[in-house]
Chains A and B, each alone.
Chain A
Amino acid sequence: MNRMSVVALIVAVALGVSVPARTQGKPNFSGRWIYNQALSSGGTSGNAPIVSFPSELVIKQTPVELHWQASTVRQDAITAIFKLDGSEVTMAGAPEITMRGKAVLEGDKLVITSKRSYSSPAGDITTDFKEVYNVAGDVLTVEKTQTTGGVSSTLKAVYNKTTGR
């Protein structure tokens, strides 16, 4: 086999490998994801986190919907069935809090934006969240920006996929 043939073979193999990756279409975020404190930013867990992340995410993705549940130890779990066309839906789970949110796929990323409204002795409070999800095999990375009272904080958390409890 001459040099040209070897080059042609390598190119053909490279194309063959890359085609399935491109044709897989949308990334899939389905799974039960457990928070990994060692790989996550400081201030994402424990008492009074700077940006609060759930300890467990359960996601079931269909071509048009995203069933999403975020659970945190000793806190109310928050659930939503997002339409992947980006339309706004009502999120449920935490009493006394009104939650609306939407999810869209932007390339390889899933972006969930949501708004929470609740009352306090300081008046009504609105907190905005933007969560950007990236999946690579059994690792899910979530970058979350929390804005309340005009102050924003952004931190990143890492989750590992699990199959059993």
Chain B
Amino acid sequence: MRAKLAVVVVVIGMVLAAVPVATHHSFAAEFDGNKPITLRGTITAMLWSNPHGHLYIDVKSPDGKVVSWEIEFAAPGSLYRRGWRKTDLPVGVEVTVQGFLAKDGTPTANATTVKLPGGRELFAGSSGTGAPVEPPAEGSRR
């Protein structure tokens, strides 16, 4: 009985441990730094999820077809520190996203910046070293 319980606990633990491994990845593993893209679209959803936030927008292609794009953001904690708030991305609002295309050819991109209605622009870059480096203060030692 005790051995069976141990097996069940181990299996549940392995399953739980595997989930974050499957969802967290490096930029270069999924996106192409040689393919920048600018997308203008209407927000259909925003997931403030870890380890990456995900914005979903409908973008009209040149042929008139509407394609749903998934845009990967940094983690919600990073976004909050950069000034993002949950109320910034309501459904139905049109935004301009700059970022990089996914390598697999799907309508997926990694966001660099998002311009909101009214011209406010926020950095949405992926976690890790994606945040802009603060320039040294005038006259400071380098």
Contact = CB atoms under 8 A, between A and B. Distances in A.
Interface stretch (A2-10, A21-29, A40-48): A40-48
The list of the 9 closest CB pairs from A to B, nearest first, reads: A149-B38, A42-B132, A46-B129, A47-B130, A74-B28, A47-B27, A48-B125, A121-B107, A47-B126
Interface residues of A, number: 37
A45 to B, nearest CB: 7
Given A52-B33, A122-B59, A149-B38, A46 B67 contact: no
Most chain B beta carbons < 10 A, residue from A72, A78, A120: A120
Given A75-B33, A121-B67, A121-B106, A42 B112 contact: no
A97 interface: yes
A47 B38 contact: no
Nearest to A53: B33
Interface of B: 26-28, 31-40, 59, 61-63, 67, 69, 96, 98-101, 105-107, 110-113, 123-136, 142
Contacts of A48: 27, 31, 99-100, 110-112, 124-126, 130
B31 to A, nearest CB: 8
Contacts of A120: 35, 37, 101, 107
Interface of A: 37-50, 52, 72-76, 78, 94, 97, 116, 118, 120-123, 125, 127, 146, 148-151, 153
Contacts of B133: 37-38, 40-46
Contacts of A149: 37-40, 98
Contacts, number: 117
Contacts of B126: 47-48
Contact of A122 (B27, B61, B113, B142): B61
A39 B29 CA distance: 27
A49 B113 CA distance: 9
Contacts of A40: 133
